[in-house]
Amino acid sequence: MNWEDVRQAFPKHWVLIEATGAYTNGQSERILEEITPLKKFSNSPEAMRAYQEIHREEPNRELYVLHTSRKRPNIIEKKRVGVRR
């Protein structure tokens, strides 16, 4: 699916999605070409709890929580500097 498909399928909801096809453009924006909706939610705290559960178990999956009122995902990558434990 693409973002517009998700918006139409789940209007006015928070959705937990997984990017299955994505790349970063020259402005550090993540372009989601193919996404899979995992679950819909009526509020953001529930969506974030579901995100955290999956992320804890599988940190390499590219997951996002977004509201379908957004016309575009508009995800900006931030570079991290330093040591992670």
User: Tens of pLDDT along 24-62?
Assistant: 998 999 999 999 999 999 999 999 999 999 999 999 999
pLDDT > 80? residue 5: yes
Question: 54 Cβ partners below 8 Å, 6+ apart?
Answer: 16, 38, 61, 63
Residue whose tokens read 């517009």: 4
Contact present, 14 and 67 (Cβ < 8 Å): yes
Which string of b and e fits 57-83 if b means at least 16 CB within 10 Å? eeeeeebbbbebeeeebebeeeeeeee
In the chain, what are the domain boundaries?
Answer: 3-70
pTM of the model: 0.89
* Spatial separation of the C-alpha atoms in residues 53 and 39, rounded to whole Å: 13
Indicate the range of 12-21, 37-46, 49-58, 74-83 predicted with least confidence: 74-83
